[in-house]
Amino acid sequence: MSPVIDPVHTSTTHPQATSVVIIGAGIIGLTAALTLAERNIPVVVLEKGRLAGEQSSRNLGWVRKTNRHAHDIPLALAADRLWAKMAERVGCDVGYRQAGIMFIGRNDTQMG
């Protein structure tokens, strides 16, 4: 079961200056902003819709190592380690659950 996600209410005013502007508040943009903020680098994130509520769940929402190209495995393993520590990093439940994956084959070709 997924955690209840409280919507993020953001400021409608922009700072006078910043060092970095990130366009897009999906998992990539927010993680980049978090990393910069942890290093005390001023950062502003701009998003047209909901923070972490647009495409992230459809394209980078899966962390898996199964059925990946061999060159992708190191990145998938690194992403898994980052996700496993994200709740501790941000101080709240982010919904990450390591539960496995199941592929179902309907015929011998798919099973091979």
Instruction: List, run by run, the mean pLDDT of 10-residue segments along the chain (112 residues).
Output: 70 91 89 96 90 61 76 87 91 83 84 75
Q: How far apart are the C-alpha atoms of 16 and 42, rounded to whole Å?
A: 11
pLDDT of amino acid 43? 96
pLDDT of amino acid 19? 97
**What 3-state DSSP class applies to 84?**
helix
Per-domain residue ranges of the chain: 13-61, 62-92
Token look-up 């680098």 returns 41
Q: What is the pTM of this model?
A: 0.71
pLDDT tens digits, 11-32:
888 899 999 999 988 888 889 9
Give backbone dihedrals phi and psi of 21, rounded to 5 degrees, phi first: -120, 125
pLDDT of amino acid 27? 81
Q: How far apart are the C-alpha atoms of 97 and 29, rounded to whole Å?
A: 21
pLDDT of amino acid 87? 92
